[in-house]
A and B are shown apart, each in its own frame.
Chain A
């Protein structure tokens, strides 16, 4: 309850700040408003489709399928799938998190999930093309080729560690449920 109220108060404060900046012409405030509108539009262009796809994935894809290809039994192919999926993810981390959460709930293993999240951060194909056009192909190629093995290595490390600690994504789910009850 308290956290919900705090969030509401923060939101009110934020919009008051925007309103006051608009009236007084406070430059950083105006800039904030412009950014907020721009980023919100950008994000909400993608989110409806992303969540519909997640919903479809939840009802149509069988748990066994995910377990077989991305679960504990999957060896190298699980990571290959994670990279392919990451490359075609649109948006950014804000899409990758809910997708990863769905995958985990369907039985994908932790190291594959973390590989997917980090790879989706650096390796989305449209973004890489955009990057190369500004920074040159060499820069982008180096960045991708060096980061991919590191991502794989650190994800496996993190997956092993959390598994040893008996980590469950219920941890995360609980946070969500608590919020719902507020």
Chain B
């Protein structure tokens, strides 16, 4: 993280050293782009904090841990798609679920959709790439996540 700040600062200083006008232009582009998309970011943050508060970890655990494998995989993929959580929340949660006996296959469906399929990030993605591309990318990602889950189940011997 510190490296990221340091790297950005270094590049910026270097850029100013080389061409002051261009660097100011870069900063103005950065600012304009940021302001334009900021409302959508805030919207995503609001939705994310609401859904995580009303869908507590115990509920997620209850849904993923019961019933048949395949039902759980589908449920995991759905929850993963509609929720969004930062990695520092998601993986510790998955670690706990694993200890509670939730299978690797279900957790794979959960984490992969969590990362790749974004119902909540839809407003941001659409602002950049339009509705159609966004819908298609997310649908393909859901398919990918289900295949990855099946593969995980296979390699951990959970199928059957």
- A positions within 8 Å CB-CB of B: 7, 10-11, 14, 28-29, 31-36, 39-40, 42-43, 45-49, 51-56, 58-60, 90, 92-94, 97-98, 100-101, 114, 117-118, 121-122, 127, 130-131, 133-135, 138-139, 142-143, 146-147, 150-151, 154, 157-158, 161-162, 165, 167, 169, 171-172, 175-176, 179-180
What does DSSP make chain B's interface, helix, strand, loop or mixed? helix
Q: 30 A-B contacts, Cβ less than 8 Å apart?
A: A7-B39, A28-B53, A28-B54, A29-B53, A35-B49, A42-B86, A43-B41, A51-B34, A53-B8, A53-B11, A54-B29, A56-B26, A60-B15, A97-B121, A98-B33, A101-B129, A118-B141, A134-B92, A138-B156, A139-B152, A142-B151, A142-B156, A146-B151, A147-B144, A154-B144, A162-B132, A162-B136, A169-B130, A175-B130, A179-B39
Q: Are B53 and A118 in contact (CB under 8 A)?
A: no
**Most chain A CB atoms below 10 A, which of B1, B129, B156:** B129
- Smallest CB separation, A102 vs chain B (Å): 8
Rounded to whole angstroms, the CA-CA distance of A147 and B128 in the bound complex is 24
Contact in complex: A54, B45 (CB < 8 Å) = no
Q: Do A59 and B98 touch (CB < 8 A)?
A: no
Contact B155 A135 (CB under 8 A): no
CA distance A117 to B148 in the complex (A): 17
B127 x A143 contact (CB < 8 A): no
Residues on B facing A (Cβ under 8 Å): 1, 4-5, 8, 11-12, 15, 22-23, 25-31, 33-34, 36-37, 39, 41-46, 48-50, 52-54, 56, 86-88, 91-92, 94-95, 98, 104, 107-108, 111-112, 115-116, 118, 121, 124-130, 132-133, 136-137, 140-141, 143-145, 147-148, 151-152, 155-156
